[in-house]
Each structure stands twice: as C-alpha cells, then as structure tokens.
C-alpha cells in the first residue's frame, strides 16, 4: 500500500519525479474498451483491473454544473435522440471551429441531463459494450470524485483523478466560464494542493496558465498530432513539442499529454517509424510525459501490431505499450487499463 501511495504521489505532485519506480496507468474514461465510457461500471472496472487514475472529461450544463461526457454533443453517447420530449433541442453549432449537429449539454439543465442514460460510443467496434446501454445516468464531476474516494478506501490504494476541461473558451463564450466553478469543486474536495491525487488536463493554454496562478494542483498540457490550442491561433502543437516549446510549457505545466504519433510516428502504410526525441526533450525541460490513447482494436493500432482482418479485432496492444514503456514515458491513457497494467 505504501509503495502505491508513493508512486501515485510521484505522478500527481507538482514536483518533477522522473525516477518514479512504477509508471502510471490512467483509465481513459474508465475501462471504456469494456463498458460504455464515463459510467460507474467503467470506472469501477478500471480500478478493479489495477488502474492508478481514472479520467473524467468535463462539460457544462445550462445551469453551470459539471457533467462527465467526452464532448458536449451527447447524441452518440446517450439515449437523448430517442427522447421525444427533447427532439426540439437538436441543433447545429460550431465548437472550436468544427460544425456539429446533435444535442448539447449546455442546452439542458442538470436535472434534465440526469434523466438520460449512457450508451456505447463505438458500437460497431465494441458491440459487446452495447449490452450495458441505458443502464446508467450521466455522472457529475462530484460523483466521480466521490467514486475515487470510495474506491481508494475499498482497495487501500490511492485512486487519482485526471479531469479534462473540454472546450473552455467555447463555454466561456456562451456565458458558462469553467475556471471559477472548477476551482470551487476542487476546494470542496480538498484537491487544490501540490500533493493532491489529481492531474488537470486541457488542450488549451490559457486555462492552465490561469489555474497555475490560483492553485498548486498538478497540470497537464494536452497536445495532438495536428492543429493547436483553440485559444491560441498563433500556436501549433508541433511548435509546442519542440525543445523551445516544451520549455515554455514547463513554466505553467507539470506534464504533457501527447498523442502516440508524436512519439512513434507512422508511415503512409500505418507502420510505426523510429521514435522521436520528444520523451527525452520533455524530460530535459522538467516535464513528465503521458501518452494517449492505447486501444486494443486494430482500427487504432499501427500496422505491425494488428492481428486478424477486422478493424474490431484485437491486436497486440501489450507489445505496443511495451514500445512506449521502453522509451521511459511516465504514464499512459488506455481504454483497456487491465492490459496496460499487465504489460507494466
């Protein structure tokens, strides 16, 4: 138990700890490869499988509550499309420059959202997960934090939480600023300190910089293969992943969360290429490196790790994880935390 507490603290503390003895497994939206994402079933299964941290994505309701969904568009992850009383709420919006049609959390009160039931987001790739459809309500951030506390007490392990603030500039632009409400939630749960078992993520830069000035909890700058932060049109993730860019990130963040291809790129056929220097460059800047997202299906694996003919077939996820573990990454996000734990 002591070892697990120490390793959780090493990842989640604000002090760089490149020598953490055990790399951390973050359950991406829970064990979302085996249960519908962001449900109690997904989170509890992830903890059962040995995950160190569970991840809730945070969006807002019309009345300013944090609810846990991958996106504010919920047509594909709930039963809202089958609810005639909400048919008129269907809308088309531009979210960070992407035009999307569906149902959006900001058009519902928390009480209304709580009447909806969660569904599998990828039913064609994960048909077995659909057996769990319509069983569970949408969770709030407070409920996920409470679940982490309960699981910590039950297991004797520290179960961390890695919340991601989704589209904060968009929400601020429609009169639902996230940061004050988010800090208030952290304060309610005693999670503002440098040693708090929490890791706060965002693809944008400004929210992390402002949080740095107000709380001591560890912060993670997310980066993808393409594009850049929605709040910084002058900046790209490619520029942020250079040695100079990483030093700038290290001024306000404790870690970077990067897409697999930024470390192991793929060629035109989908086969892995040699590793980049990103891990060593980030460590040199004093940043921990967290990698997303490890999924078992062939659809998400490089060509040399695929097994079977169908995109839904499971390939060699364990071997793919080993390639990243060998490079010295500090943590991984996985839809299959049990596989990630076993590979560790």
**Percentage, residues of the chain above pLDDT 70:** 94
Query: In the structure, what pLDDT confidence band is assigned to residue 11 with cuts at 50, 70 and 90?
Result: very low
Return d(Cα 287, Cα 206) in angstroms, integer: 18
| Mutual angle of helices 40-48 and 141-155, in 10-degree steps | 30
Q: What are the tokens at 221? A: 């700058």
The pTM of this model reads 0.94
pLDDT computed for residue 2 by the predictor: 31
**19 pLDDT higher than 90:** no
Whether residue 293 has a cis bond before it, omega within 30° of 0: yes
Please report which confidence band the pLDDT of residue 70 belongs to, taking 50, 70 and 90 as the band edges.
very high
Q: What pLDDT, in 10s, does the model give residues 219-238?
A: 999 999 999 999 999 999 99
| Predicted confidence (pLDDT) at residue 199 exceeds the cutoff of 50 | yes
pLDDT tens for each residue of 78-117 = 999 999 999 999 999 999 999 999 999 999 999 999 999 9
Pairing of β 53-54 and β 24-27: parallel
More confident residue, 50 or 16: 50
**Number of folded domains in the chain?**
1
For residues 191 and 74, the answer to whether their CB atoms sit within 8 Å is no
| Residue 115 maps to a domain | no
d(CA 263, CA 326) in angstroms, rounded, equals: 12
Q: Examine residue 63 and state whether it is found in any structural domain, yes or no.
A: yes
Confidence of residue 193 (pLDDT cuts 50, 70, 90): very high
On whether residue 78 sits in a domain, the answer given is no
Q: How many CB atoms lie within 10 A of CB 84?
A: 7
- 88 inside domain: no
In angstroms, the CA 300 to CA 305 distance is 10
216 is written with which tokens? 């001591």
Secondary structure of 40-67 as H, E, C letters: HHHHHHHHHCCCCEECCEEEECCCCCEE
- CB of 278 within 8 A of CB of 91? no
**What is the number of other CB atoms lying within 10 angstroms of the CB of residue 170?**
22
Please name the residues in contact with 49: beta carbons below 8 A apart, sequence gap of 6 or more: 27, 31, 337, 338, 341
**Does the pLDDT at position 76 exceed 60?**
yes
**Given CA atoms 267, 273, 279, 280 in this order, what sign does their dihedral have?**
negative
22 pLDDT band (50/70/90 cuts)? confident
Instruction: Give the pLDDT confidence of 132-174 residue by residue, as tens digits.
Output: 999 999 999 999 999 999 999 999 999 999 999 999 999 999 9
**What CA–CA distance (Å, rounded) separates 168 from 328?**
31
Question: What SS3 state is found at 169?
Answer: helix
Q: Tell me how far apart the alpha carbons of residues 211 and 217 are, in angstroms, rounded to a whole number.
A: 9
For residue 157, tell me if it sits in a domain.
yes
Does 274 map to a domain? yes
Residue 111: Cβ within 10 Å count: 10
Question: In this structure, what token pair is assigned to residue 202?
Answer: 């965002």
The CATH number of the domain holding residue 308 is 3.20.20.190
| Averaged confidence pLDDT in the chain | 94
* Structural domain harbouring 166: 2-72+138-343
**Looking at the domain assignment, is residue 248 inside a domain?**
yes
Instruction: Confirm whether 34 is domain-assigned.
Output: yes
């Amino acid at each position: 138990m002591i070892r697990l507490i120490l390793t959780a603290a090493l990842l989640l503390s604000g002090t760089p700890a490149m020598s953490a003895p055990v790399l951390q497994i973050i359950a991406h939206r829970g064990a979302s490869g085996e249960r519908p994402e962001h449900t109690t079933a997904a989170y509890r299964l992830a903890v059962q499988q040995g995950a160190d941290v569970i991840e809730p994505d945070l969006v807002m309701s019309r009345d300013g509550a944090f609810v846990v969904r991958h996106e504010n568009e919920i047509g594909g992850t709930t039963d809202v499309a089958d609810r005639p009383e909400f048919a008129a709420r269907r809308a088309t919006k531009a979210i960070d420059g992407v035009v999307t049609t569906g149902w959006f959390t900001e058009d519902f009160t928390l009480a209304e959202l709580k009447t909806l039931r969660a569904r599998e987001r990828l039913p064609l790739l994960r048909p077995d997960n659909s057996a769990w459809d319509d069983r569970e309500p949408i969770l709030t951030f407070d409920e996920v934090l409470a679940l982490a506390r309960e699981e910590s007490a039950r297991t004797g392990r520290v179960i961390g939480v890695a919340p991601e603030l989704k589209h904060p500039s968009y929400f601020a632009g429609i009169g639902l600023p996230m940061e004050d409400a988010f800090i208030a939630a952290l304060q309610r749960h005693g999670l503002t300190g440098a040693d708090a078992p929490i890791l706060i993520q965002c693809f944008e830069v400004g929210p992390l910089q402002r949080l740095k000035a107000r709380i001591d909890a560890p912060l993670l700058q997310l980066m993808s293969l393409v594009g850049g932060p929605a709040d910084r049109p002058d900046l790209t993730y490619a520029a942020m992943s250079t040695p100079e860019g990483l030093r700038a990130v290290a001024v306000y963040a404790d870690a970077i969360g990067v897409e697999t291809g930024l470390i192991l790129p793929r060629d035109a056929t989908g086969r892995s290429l040699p590793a980049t220097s990103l891990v060593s460059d980030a460590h040199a800047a004093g940043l921990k490196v967290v990698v997303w997202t490890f999924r078992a299906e062939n659809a998400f694996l490089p060509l040399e790790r695929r097994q079977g003919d169908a995109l839904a077939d499971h390939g060699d996820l364990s071997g793919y994880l080993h390639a990243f573990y060998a490079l010295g990454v500090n943590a991984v996000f996985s839809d299959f935390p049990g596989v990630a734990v076993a590979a560790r």
